[in-house]
Structure 1
Amino acid sequence: MEIKTFGDLIDWTRQLHAHLAECLAHCANQHEEERAQMLLNYLSLHEAEMQRVIASFEGTASVNVLHTYVYDYLSHQPIRSHRTCDAPYSTLGADAICKEVLDFHDQAISLYRSLIGRAEIREAKELLETLLDLEEHEAMRLSRQTERMHDI
């Protein structure tokens, strides 16, 4: 997907979370370890919720901001994800799965931070800050929740 506007950026981020949710769910069904299956199912539900929340930004953000061009995006490295799910998580252990998913969130956080520094329109900067806060909060929550799985 080519990202030209903030609306495109939000839609692209939503699609990445949706794809990750689908991939995690797909891999949960193929994993041999029960603990990893539970983790993958939990993470899949979490990513599906992230997709839903990010989609809500498309309906609530200012139309002017959504149509504002994101020129500086092109200089940022794209987020690495498993764009095709050939079961990459089905062979990983629980710790490696957590690391991969948290890395995905860290990449989104890095992207939003770099764009906030370049945003010239106040409303666009506020939208990016809200998306950044969401990603940071959810990454912290995921980290805490997955750490609790170690205690089980």
Structure 2
Amino acid sequence: MHIETMQEMVEWSAAYHQSFAGYLQDSVASSSDERAKMLSDYIADHERSLAKVLFAFKPTESDAALGTWCAEFLNDQPLPNTEKTDVRWAQMSADEMFAEVSAIHAQLIDLYRFLLSRCIATPAAEMLEQLIDIEEHEIKLMAQSANRLHEM
């Protein structure tokens, strides 16, 4: 991924969540674990919802944040390539799947924090803080529902 502006970061994040939703469902479709399938459907719905929020995301103060130049940082632990299914997901339990999804969201949060540390005194800082809050909120919602599913 080559991202130069905050606008590109937001668009890339939204597109990744949208793509990850379909990737997850397609990858888990052959699983024999019904809980895992239910969880993948639930997570996919959240990913699509998060993508919609991000596609509509605009800075509240000014458009200056969208033009802020930034560097991208995801070389150490690349995110899953969502262009083709991965049978590894179909072999995971619901708990393993949620742990993997949580790790992916943690990577995105770490990316936003990295960028925030590079532009702390710019209009983009508030925008990155909002992106971090959105990601953290969604993963908490997914965790609560995953726990409820586990109790069933």
Question: Could you state the TM-score of these two structures normalised by the residue count of structure 2?
Answer: 0.87
- The aligned runs of 1:13-52 (5 Å cut-off) are 13-52=13-52
2:62 maps to 1:81: no
SS of 1:50's partner is: helix
SS of 1:54's partner is: helix
Measure, in 2, the Cα distance between the counterparts of 1:76 and 1:113.
15
Measure, in 2, the Cα distance between the counterparts of 1:74 and 1:114.
7
Contact 1:98 1:146 in 2 (8 A): yes
Measure, in 2, the Cα distance between the counterparts of 1:123 and 1:131.
13
Shift of 1:79: 4.3
Measure, in 2, the Cα distance between the counterparts of 1:76 and 1:64.
27
SS of 2:69's partner is: coil
Structure 2 gaps of 5+ residues are: none
Structure 1 gaps of 5+ residues are: none
Shift of 1:83: 3.0
Runs of 4+ deviating beyond 4 Å: 74-79
User: Alpha-carbon deviations, 1:86-127, whole Å to 9, x = none?
Assistant: 233122111111011000110111111121122144420000
Q: Which residue of 2 is the match for residue 140 of structure 1?
A: 140
Q: Which residue of 1 is the match for residue 117 of structure 2?
A: 117
Measure, in 2, the Cα distance between the counterparts of 1:121 and 1:56.
24
Tell me: CA distance 1:47–1:128, structure 2 relative to 1, closer, same or farther (3 Å): same
Q: Which residue of 2 is the match for residue 5 of structure 1?
A: 5
Partner amino acid, structure 2, of 1:98: F
Larger RCO: 1 or 2 (CA < 8 Å, sep 6+): 2
Measure, in 1, the Cα distance between the counterparts of 2:132 and 2:49.
16
Contact 1:79 1:104 in 2 (8 A): no
Q: Which has the higher helix share?
A: 1
Measure, in 2, the Cα distance between the counterparts of 1:127 and 1:95.
32
Contact 1:28 1:38 in 2 (8 A): no
Measure, in 2, the Cα distance between the counterparts of 1:16 and 1:79.
12
Measure, in 2, the Cα distance between the counterparts of 1:79 and 1:142.
22
SS of 1:8's partner is: helix
Shift of 1:28: 3.9
Question: Could you state the TM-score of these two structures normalised by the residue count of structure 1?
Answer: 0.87
Shift of 1:6: 0.5
